[in-house]
Structure 1
Amino acid sequence: MSPYIYLRALKHAEHTVFCVEDGQKTYFDSQFNRILAYSSGQQVKRSVLQALTDYMNVPLAPITFNYNISANNELENKEPWSPCDPTYVDQLLGGWMRAKTTSVKSDKKESEQSKENSVLKRRSPLSISAMRPLHPLLAGVEKENITFDRSDRPDYHPVNVRIKGTEKLLTEEEIEEFLNKNNRSLSRRTWIPDNKRTTGLFIYDIAIDLRTLFCVSTNQHEPEVTKETIASLKEKGWIESENVFGKCLVLPKEEREKIIPALADALIDWRITSNQARTFSLMETLAVAISDNANTIASAIRAKLIDDGDKPKAKPIVDENAGAELYVTLPCASYILTETESVLALDNAKKSLIDKMMAFDYEHQI
């Protein structure tokens, strides 16, 4: 049995924003000479973990934000700290990196334990791609001008006018005098030009490494967790075992059975949860391909370039004969010619993921 599960999903986005950076994150496709929108793998990962914790009704792990105060009383932002605790489900599945930072240098020899625990890192068992267009010709970026408008109640929304370079506010009489002298007016409307929006067919890929999905290494040469955490996990019923990477602790079966359905749901039903206040899109899932072979999911959901004279076109394809399990939803028929769409497509895709994750023998890998 392959220790990997590969998933590709196809989504439709409608006039929306994935992440606000000059209106929308974009990159340039040099082959087709087009600017394209994308959502970074980090944003997709955060959205998946948010969906997971929402499903389980548990909080995300608390992150400690560190600052130093300099000699002239300025705050210096330092690296945030993860708890590096796999009892938090987002830490277990999302991984962590924590380097020991000290603000004061000391000539005293550090303790052996301090040296051992100077860096803690766990690679996430989920490898997640950016969400990007299925094909450069099947998505686009458009611009629009929008306004922040409160001109309907000018008497209710105050206006402040300052003399540049100072904190002095003009009085109402001074404002009126300035406007009359200079033939000007003050608006309760702010123009926000050139806002980017995207529309099209988008895909993301996820690889699940079952070998480390619920296993935490106990190796202290390159530690994932401290010795104290290892002792605490053992007290909580984590099982001592071994995988191809060495000795490890495995999450108990009853806990895995709580997480697996939530993870299957989150991998398919996540939505972008940040920076999307201005323009909402359902970003409905059109198709899901699942396999233990990465090449087959790429073949199952793909696009084909069509020579149409001076202007090439791309045709989206969902192919149930490409070697992967393919689940096609009802909305997919709006964009791709298909006869296999089903109202139960996403439920069946989640069941397939659950069955595959449940079937793996986490305790007896070697």
Structure 2
Amino acid sequence: MNPYIYLRVLRHADHTVFCVQDGQKSYYDPTFGRRMAYSSGQQVKRSVLEALTDALNVPMAPITFNYEINKAGKMTNKEPWSPCDPHYVDQLIGGWMRAASENYTVKRRSPLSISAMRPLHPLLGGLEMEAENLTFDRSDRPENHPVIVRMEGQKEPMTGEQIDKWLNENCRTLPRRHWIPDNRRASGLFVFDVAIDLRRLFCVSTNPHEPELTPEMIEALKNEGWIESENTFGHCLVMPKEKRDEVIPALAHALLNWRITSNQARTFSLMETLAVAISDNANTLAGAIRTKLIDDGGDRPKAKPIVDDSVGADVFVTLPAAGYFATSIESADALAAAERDLTERMQAFDYERQK
């Protein structure tokens, strides 16, 4: 049995922002000369892990943040510590690394390889051409929103009388509005790919030369019923079946139903899923969800999205997809069927007897 499951998901994003820290992330496509919006694989992975823990109603692993204060009183950030504990499902699926001076390094590579979410084709999605100026506006009720003004080099703020005097002398006002210039949003058809390594999915290595676990954690897992086994990477411990049966459906749900959320409501988009392709052959995914250039005699070619269920992958098409490309296989239960397909593929693998 092929130890990999490959997944491609096509989504529609509408007038949104994938990353709000420093504007929308983008890269340049040299073939078509366009700047493309994208969501990094790390951001997609984080969103998947959040959806997974939400589905199981369990907390994410606690991360220890380390700070150091030098003799001059300056505080600096040091490397955060993961608990490196497979009891936390986001650690088991997401991987970990901890390099501690008082102990040896432990690290686990995630069994999920996740691509960036990027346009299906440079002509079908990306940054909107026009930039916009956003506002943080509280000018409608200025009395409800105080202001603080400090003169440069002064620690104490100016009093109300001093502010009024300065404003009158300089013919100025204090608006309760801040402009956020040159913001761009993303729209179009976006795709991301996932490779699931079933050999690693529920197995943690006990190899002492490349340790994933501390000796104490190995003994704790054995006492809790984790099964001693061996895979192509060496000796390992396998999560018990009853626990796998809880995680697998939740992971299938998370991979198909995650969302990028933000504390800024302006960035939210349904990012509805249009099509899903699942296979044990990565090459079939590229044919199942693809594009075709059409030259209709205009100034430039056009890209036509194509979803094809005849190339060897299991393909699921949702109802909204019919608004973006021609299809006759859309269905109301497409996502539920895709979840079942993923779940059955993960459950069919023999995790205990890989060798």
Give the TM-score, by structure 2 length.
Answer: 0.97
Paired position in structure 2 for 1:14? 14
How many residue pairs match? The answer is 352
**CA drift at 1:21:** 4.0
Instruction: Give, as a single letter, the amino acid of the residue that structure 2 aligns with 1:365.
Output: Q
**CA drift at 1:36:** 1.0
Q: Does 1:230 align with 2:218?
A: yes
Q: What is the distance in 2 between the residues matched to 1:182 and 1:345?
A: 65
Q: Does 1:289 align with 2:277?
A: yes
Tell me the alpha carbon deviations over residues 322-363 of structure 1, each in whole angstroms, 9 at most, x when there is no partner.
210000000000111111100010000000001111111100
Q: What is the distance in 2 between the residues matched to 1:337 and 1:82?
A: 47
Q: What is the distance in 2 between the residues matched to 1:157 and 1:66?
A: 36
Paired position in structure 1 for 2:336? 347
Q: What is the distance in 2 between the residues matched to 1:241 and 1:357?
A: 18
Instruction: Give, as a single letter, the amino acid of the residue that structure 1 aligns with 2:83.
Output: P
Query: How do 1:111-150 residues align onto structure 2 when only pairs under 5 Å count?
Result: 114=103, 118-142=104-128, 143-150=131-138
Q: Does the Cα contact within 8 Å between 1:19 and 1:276 map onto a contact in 2? A: no
Q: Secondary structure at the match of 2:353?
A: coil
Please tell me the root mean square deviation across aligned C-alpha atoms, in Å.
1.2
Tell me the alpha carbon deviations over residues 81-140 of structure 1, each in whole angstroms, 9 at most, x when there is no partner.
1111111111111111111136xxxxxxxxxxx4xxx11011100000010000011013
Structure 1 residues 17 and 66: CA distance shift in structure 2, 3 A? same
Q: Secondary structure at the match of 1:278?
A: helix
Q: Does the Cα contact within 8 Å between 1:17 and 1:276 map onto a contact in 2? A: no
Q: Secondary structure at the match of 1:258?
A: helix
Query: How do 1:78-157 residues align onto structure 2 when only pairs under 5 Å count?
Result: 78-101=78-101, 114=103, 118-142=104-128, 143-157=131-145
Which structure 2 residue ranges, 5 or more long, are not aligned?
Answer: none
Paired position in structure 2 for 1:24? 24
**CA drift at 1:163:** 0.8
**CA drift at 1:276:** 4.9
2:208 to 204, 216, 220: 220
Paired position in structure 2 for 1:5? 5
Which structure 1 residue ranges, 5 or more long, are not aligned?
Answer: 103-113
Instruction: Give, as a single letter, the amino acid of the residue that structure 1 aligns with 2:326.
Output: L
Q: What is the distance in 2 between the residues matched to 1:122 and 1:173?
A: 61
Q: Does the Cα contact within 8 Å between 2:262 and 2:268 map onto a contact in 1? A: no
Instruction: Give, as a single letter, the amino acid of the residue that structure 2 aligns with 1:97.
Output: M
Instruction: Give, as a single letter, the amino acid of the residue that structure 2 aligns with 1:204.
Output: F
Structure 1 residues 45 and 275: CA distance shift in structure 2, 3 A? farther
Identity percentage of aligned residues: 68
Query: How do 1:166-315 residues align onto structure 2 when only pairs under 5 Å count?
Result: 166-274=154-262, 276-308=264-296, 309-315=298-304
Instruction: Give, as a single letter, the amino acid of the residue that structure 1 aligns with 2:181.
Output: P
**CA drift at 1:278:** 2.6
Structure 1 residues 276 and 332: CA distance shift in structure 2, 3 A? farther
Q: Does 1:334 align with 2:320?
A: no
Q: Secondary structure at the match of 2:126?
A: strand
Q: What is the distance in 2 between the residues matched to 1:77 and 1:278?
A: 31
Instruction: Give, as a single letter, the amino acid of the residue that structure 1 aligns with 2:152.
Output: K
Instruction: Give, as a single letter, the amino acid of the residue that structure 1 aligns with 2:7.
Output: L
Structure 1 residues 28 and 158: CA distance shift in structure 2, 3 A? same
Paired position in structure 1 for 2:308? 319
1:358 to 324, 347, 353: 347
Tell me the alpha carbon deviations over residues 291-329 of structure 1, each in whole angstroms, 9 at most, x when there is no partner.
000010111001112224431211111011121000000
Q: Secondary structure at the match of 2:48?
A: helix
Q: Does the Cα contact within 8 Å between 1:61 and 1:91 map onto a contact in 2? A: yes
Tell me the alpha carbon deviations over residues 156-182 of structure 1, each in whole angstroms, 9 at most, x when there is no partner.
111222112222322222222222222
Q: Does 1:61 align with 2:49?
A: no
Give the TM-score, by structure 1 length.
Answer: 0.94
After TM superposition, the structure 1 stretch with the greater mean CA deviation from structure 2, 197-206 or 156-165, is: 156-165
